[in-house]
Chains A and B, each alone.
Chain A
Amino acid sequence: MAMTLAQAILSRKSDKAPEEGTLCRVRVDLAFANDITGPPAIRSFKEMGAEKVFDPARCAVLPDHFTPNKDIAAAEQAKEARDFALEQGMLYWEQGRVGIEHAFLPEQGHILPGEIILGADSHTCTGGALGAFATGVGSTDLAALWALGETWFRVPSTIKVRFEGEKPENIGGKDLILALLSLIGVQGARYKALEFSGEVVERLPMDDRFTIANMAVETGAKAGLFAPDKTALDWVTPRAARSFEPAFPERGAPYEKEILVEVSEMTPLVALPHSPANVRPALEVGPMPVDQVFIGSCTNGRLTDLEQAARVLRGREVHPSVRCVVIPASREIFADALRLGFIDTFIQAGAVVCTPTCGPCIGGHMGILAKGERCVSTSNRNFVGRMGDAGSEVVLSGPLVAAASAVAGRVADPSEVLAND
């Protein structure tokens, strides 16, 4: 029988044909943890009686969440993860070289088409942008992966999502995934895989694809996949850290259903508190003042995102009562943004620019919200207390809306600010 992309990938690495609904045992190509999920994984690894990771070149630790270490406890955690990684000879990058795992690993060529990638972080699904079956697990599962080099999956059914129409200029990956969330909700794809396609996808740059795949987990999905096309292969081939063989969905593959997202008439979207599926057009939100704007994270901290934010902020000022925090998602992105003058634009506009880290996305550091404060954030979750006090609010958006909101001091559509250009 013809296979979906998820099945096609799983079949490569599995001991048996990956039939939907059955459990299959698969070999993994990369298994990674961060400074939060690493230490419990290391402890479970030792409790399992394991001594050596299955392959140090396929196991990684990335210190990106509470780093540069925000306090002593975070420092202890990061140290435990680092010591283990160095002792095992695993892939490890120190502060200053690393980035947010889901932006950094693909950039370094460690997530490749046709591979199976497991990370102890729910947004591991970002790797689906490259046609890898990438999904998040908990620390104990990761410890088992480090020890055995394999894990078990229930083979998911797949929902095919087609983005069709003529994409308006101000619409980006974030708007597309928010549009899907508004249609299927936060559990519309629970336990399933999403396969993204359609004429919009065919012309979509990689950065937008990463944003879409990143938030697949917000629909409950196990994986959010793009079949690797020329755009993806051109992007990944010069970066690849290993040889790879892309997998593709087969014609006539059985999809559980197909969802059509028509984009021609779309205007930029936001997700209001406290659910990523609470989606409205930014233009229809009404007066909603903001105290902080965060442009960054594994969702929208890439070069194209910073470029869009810079387009809005160039020659403008952040509203006097707004803190605007910009965090490039990796060193490479930071360096490119510096070279292209975006960083200068941000600083001239009155924004704060920080070193690559998750920072405020997870309420860790570098921009925590006080009770009653509201933040427009380009990250992926706006749950209660996500970025600080349980009485604070997060509005999710793409970088254009975020930058426009920073200038306007309230939730704004980019057209309201860019009108005078």
Chain B
Amino acid sequence: MTRTITGKAWVFGDDVDTDVIIPARYLVTSDPRILEKHCMEGLVPDFSTRVAPGDFIVAGENFGCGSSREHAPLALKGAGCGGVIAASYARIFFRNAINVGLPIFECPEASKAIAEGDALEVDTSSGTITMTGIGEVFHFSPFPPFIEEIVAAGGLVPFVREELERRKTR
């Protein structure tokens, strides 16, 4: 699926954890519309009112470390975040983002080069991140085939639905 996402960058460092993405005290709901109000508030208190649709989180290594809460990618999605560009991801966050359909891109070079507020354009079909201001282009690595399969099915929910159908007719 070809998709271009544009937005500006919100830059964070290494090891951004799930407690700052969405603090546990708000986990009494899994409704993205409620969660997004507290998204990133541990680092940027008024993030949810300042983030614009399509804006990117740009971070260093190990983004999303900490808990297994799917509320973290849900909160970012709810806030209208266009995706996350990081040097690397913590493993549970990585799986969760794929499963709930939050676009994530692994690109250490872009993560280093991009500064706060930079205008970005991500093209998911060509696998490129462009810093539109200066025209600098970065390539991100495609997902491994198994993950592509889930993405192609539209996420884990439809993937399992198809698998269950197959089992019924077997």
Task: Point out the residue from A39, A77, A136, A187 that lies within 8 Å of B62, measured CB to CB.
Answer: A187
Say yes or no: is B15 at the interface (Cβ < 8 Å to chain A).
Answer: yes
Say yes or no: is B118 at the interface (Cβ < 8 Å to chain A).
Answer: no
What are 28 A-B contacts defined by CB distance under 8 Å?
A: A23-B146, A36-B69, A48-B161, A48-B164, A49-B161, A73-B29, A77-B29, A121-B67, A138-B69, A138-B92, A141-B96, A143-B156, A144-B159, A147-B160, A147-B164, A148-B163, A186-B62, A187-B88, A220-B62, A220-B90, A275-B15, A362-B24, A363-B24, A381-B17, A381-B19, A383-B17, A383-B19, A390-B23
Q: Per-residue 0/1 for A40-62: is the Cβ within 8 Å of any B Cβ (1 yes, 0 no)? A: 10011001111000000000000
Say yes or no: is A263 at the interface (Cβ < 8 Å to chain B).
Answer: no
Task: Point out the residue from A147, A187, A364, A384 that lies within 8 Å of B25, measured CB to CB.
Answer: A364
Question: In the complex, are the beta carbons of B30 and A385 less than 8 A apart?
Answer: no
Q: Per-residue 0/1 for B66-94: is the Cβ within 8 Å of any A Cβ (1 yes, 0 no)? A: 11111100100000000000001011100
Q: How far is the CA of A74 from the CA of B27 in the complex (A)?
A: 8
Q: How far is the CA of A122 from the CA of B65 in the complex (A)?
A: 10
Q: How far is the CA of A28 from the CA of B27 in the complex (A)?
A: 27
Question: In the complex, are the beta carbons of B156 and A140 less than 8 A apart?
Answer: yes
Across the two chains, which residue of chain B brings its CB closest to A139?
B70
Q: Indicate the member of A44, A76, A364 with the most B CB atoms within 10 Å.
A: A44
Q: How far is the CA of A123 from the CA of B19 in the complex (A)?
A: 15
Q: Which of chain B's residues have a CB closer than 8 A to the CB of A226?
A: none
Q: Which of chain A's residues have a CB closer than 8 A to the CB of B163?
A: 148
Chain B: interface residue total (CB-CB under 8 A): 45
B69 to chain A minimum Cβ distance, whole angstroms, is: 7
Question: In the complex, are the beta carbons of A220 and B157 less than 8 A apart?
Answer: no
Chain A interface bracket (under 10, 10 to 19, 20 to 34, 35 or more): 35 or more
Say yes or no: is B137 at the interface (Cβ < 8 Å to chain A).
Answer: no
Total A-B pairs, Cβ < 8 A: 140
Q: Which of chain A's residues have a CB closer than 8 A to the CB of B29?
A: 73, 77
Question: In the complex, are the beta carbons of B43 and A384 less than 8 A apart?
Answer: yes
Q: Which A residues form the contact surface with B (CB < 8 A)?
A: 23, 36-37, 39-40, 43-44, 47-50, 65-66, 71, 73-74, 76-77, 119-122, 124, 136-141, 143-144, 147-148, 152, 154, 186-187, 190-191, 220, 222, 275, 362-364, 368, 381, 383-386, 388, 390
Across the two chains, which residue of chain A brings its CB closest to B30?
A40
Q: Which of chain B's residues have a CB closer than 8 A to the CB of A275?
A: 15
Q: How far is the CA of A82 from the CA of B34 in the complex (A)?
A: 23
Q: Which of chain B's residues have a CB closer than 8 A to the CB of A47?
A: 157, 161
Q: How far is the CA of A147 from the CA of B168 in the complex (A)?
A: 12
Q: Which B residues form the contact surface with A (CB < 8 A)?
A: 14-15, 17, 19-20, 23-25, 27-30, 41-43, 45, 61-62, 65-71, 74, 88, 90-92, 95-96, 99-100, 144, 146, 155-157, 159-161, 163-165
Question: In the complex, are the beta carbons of A141 and B161 less than 8 A apart?
Answer: no
Q: How far is the CA of A47 from the CA of B101 in the complex (A)?
A: 15
Q: How far is the CA of A191 from the CA of B43 in the complex (A)?
A: 26
Question: In the complex, are the beta carbons of A37 and B90 less than 8 A apart?
Answer: no
Known interface pairs A50-B160, A186-B62, A187-B65; A73-B70 also in contact (CB < 8 Å) = no
Q: How far is the CA of A77 from the CA of B159 in the complex (A)?
A: 26
Q: How far is the CA of A384 from the CA of B65 in the complex (A)?
A: 13
Question: In the complex, are the beta carbons of B28 and A384 less than 8 A apart?
Answer: no
A99 to chain B minimum Cβ distance, whole angstroms, is: 19
Q: Which of chain B's residues have a CB closer than 8 A to the CB of A388?
A: 25
Q: Which of chain B's residues have a CB closer than 8 A to the CB of A77?
A: 28-29
B16 to chain A minimum Cβ distance, whole angstroms, is: 10
Question: In the complex, are the beta carbons of A191 and B41 less than 8 A apart?
Answer: no
Known interface pairs A40-B30, A74-B28, A120-B68; A220-B160 also in contact (CB < 8 Å) = no
Question: In the complex, are the beta carbons of B99 and A190 less than 8 A apart?
Answer: no
Across the two chains, which residue of chain A brings its CB closest to B167?
A148
A387 to chain B minimum Cβ distance, whole angstroms, is: 9
Q: How far is the CA of A136 from the CA of B68 in the complex (A)?
A: 6
Question: In the complex, are the beta carbons of B70 and A37 less than 8 A apart?
Answer: yes
Across the two chains, which residue of chain B brings its CB closest to A40?
B30
Across the two chains, which residue of chain B brings its CB closest to A186?
B15
Task: Point out the residue from A141, A222, A384, A390 that lies within 8 Å of B99, measured CB to CB.
Answer: A141
Q: Which of chain A's residues have a CB closer than 8 A to the CB of B45?
A: 390
Q: How far is the CA of A141 from the CA of B14 in the complex (A)?
A: 26
Task: Point out the residue from A122, A148, A190 that lies within 8 Å of B67, measured CB to CB.
Answer: A122
Q: How far is the CA of A152 from the CA of B157 in the complex (A)?
A: 15
Question: In the complex, are the beta carbons of B62 and A121 less than 8 A apart?
Answer: no
Task: Point out the residue from B23, B41, B65 that lies within 8 Å of A220, measured CB to CB.
Answer: B65
A224 to chain B minimum Cβ distance, whole angstroms, is: 13
Question: In the complex, are the beta carbons of B69 and A384 less than 8 A apart?
Answer: no
Q: Indicate the member of A23, A77, A220, A275 with the most B CB atoms within 10 Å.
A: A220
Question: In the complex, are the beta carbons of B68 and A137 less than 8 A apart?
Answer: yes
Q: How far is the CA of A38 from the CA of B45 in the complex (A)?
A: 28
B41 to chain A minimum Cβ distance, whole angstroms, is: 7
